[in-house]
């Protein structure tokens, strides 16, 4: 990738479990696979986490639309069962995640009485490893990767084909959020195109983009600067605009229409707002998300209602 720190690399070892480098109880490793049904404005995701030093592991499979309208969901937490094989993860809760090709192709399956899904994630770009300072306190190692998601989703009496472009996300390390935390990101992916923008707001509230990537015309480059502008209604995003420049001196302009919202208390003093976004850019349309992450203290200090 043009402009990325050469010391930031992802290797096939990163498909495996990262043993803690210290005894911090906050050490956690996560895998996250979001996907959507754009024509129905449905968001969904599979997330699994392991906190070996705290002796816990868990996960969630969830889908929603509209204003935090849950369509299906399963969430669990249980005793840590020892270092997992993340290349072929099999959990008694019904989740299986397989690495079919290192750093490139994954199969995600889940089955319960109410829900069944079977998905393939195929990368369209190598993983983008991210420096810890881009999300202070959130991880020691992190990567995201754009790709195509295909498969089937069955819930209630519905069967939906899944055919979308999205990302996958991995992180590991101690998670120590500062009391005044506020950060975010915006991303969109389509065939042959993708962007991911890390947002670190300044004290005056400007939504400064500090890093990320732009994939266009077969070339990936690091985003070096930019701004996000968010239009709010009742304190929640309804439209987003991203302008950025990458290390190849290319400009990104993307205007996003927020098609749903999920505002939730994520636990551990963290509030999160997620939107499914339809992005228009100079090459067409992409789908993705807009994220805002706050400490509970910062959220309430800003005059927002408790979640």
Q: What is the pLDDT of residues 55-108, one digit of tens each?
A: 999 999 999 999 999 999 999 999 999 999 999 999 999 999 999 999 999 999
| Residue recorded with tokens 């592991």 | 57
Residue-wise pLDDT for 111-132, tens only, equals 999 999 999 999 999 999 998 8
Domain 180-307: CATH architecture, name and number where available? Beta Barrel (2.40)
Domain boundaries 28-173, corresponding CATH code: 2.40.370.10
The string over 233-256, giving b where at least 16 C-beta atoms fall within 10 Å of a residue's C-beta and e elsewhere, is: eeebbebbbbbbbbbbeeebebeb
Name residues whose C-beta falls within 8 Å of residue 39's C-beta, 6 or more positions apart in sequence.
none
Q: Is the dihedral of CA 202, 208, 1, 49 positive or negative?
A: positive
**What gap in Å lies between CA 262 and CA 92, rounded to an integer?**
28
- Contacts of residue 279, defined as CB under 8 A and 6 or more positions apart, other chains included, come to 188, 242, 254, 255, 256, 285, 286, 287, 288
Q: What is the pLDDT of residue 137?
A: 63
Res. 203 pLDDT band, cuts 50 70 90: confident
Q: Rounded CA gap, 293 and 149, in Å?
A: 25
Domain range annotation of the chain: 28-173, 180-307
């Amino acid at each position: 990738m043009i402009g990325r720190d050469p010391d930031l690399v992802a290797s096939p070892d990163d498909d495996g479990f990262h043993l803690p480098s210290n005894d911090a109880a906050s050490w956690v490793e996560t895998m996250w696979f979001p996907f959507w049904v754009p024509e129905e404005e449905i968001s969904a995701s599979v997330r699994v986490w392991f906190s070996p030093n705290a002796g816990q592991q868990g996960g969630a499979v969830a889908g929603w639309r509209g204003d935090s309208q849950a369509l299906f969901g399963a969430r669990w937490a249980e005793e840590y069962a020892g270092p997992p094989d993340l290349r072929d993860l099999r959990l008694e809760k019904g989740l299986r995640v397989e690495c079919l090709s290192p750093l490139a192709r994954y199969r995600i399956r889940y089955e319960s009485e109410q829900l069944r899904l079977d998905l393939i994630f195929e990368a369209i770009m190598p993983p983008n490893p991210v420096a810890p300072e881009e999300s202070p306190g959130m991880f020691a190692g992190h990567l995201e990767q754009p790709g195509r998601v295909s498969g089937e989703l069955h819930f209630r009496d519905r069967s939906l084909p899944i055919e979308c472009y999205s990302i996958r996300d991995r992180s590991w390390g101690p998670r120590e959020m500062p009391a005044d935390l506020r950060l975010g990101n915006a991303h969109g992916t389509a065939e042959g195109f993708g962007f991911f923008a890390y947002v670190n707001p300044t004290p005056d509230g400007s939504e400064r983009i500090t890093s990320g990537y732009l994939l266009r015309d077969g070339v990936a480059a690091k985003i070096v600067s930019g701004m996000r502008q968010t239009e709010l209604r009742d304190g929640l995003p309804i439209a987003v605009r991203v302008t950025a420049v990458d290390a190849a001196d290319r400009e990104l302009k993307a205007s996003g229409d927020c098609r749903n919202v999920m505002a939730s208390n994520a636990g551990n003093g963290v509030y999160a707002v997620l939107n499914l976004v339809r992005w228009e850019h100079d090459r067409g349309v992409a789908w993705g998300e807009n994220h805002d992450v706050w400490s509970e203290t910062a959220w309430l200090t800003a005059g927002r209602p408790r979640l």
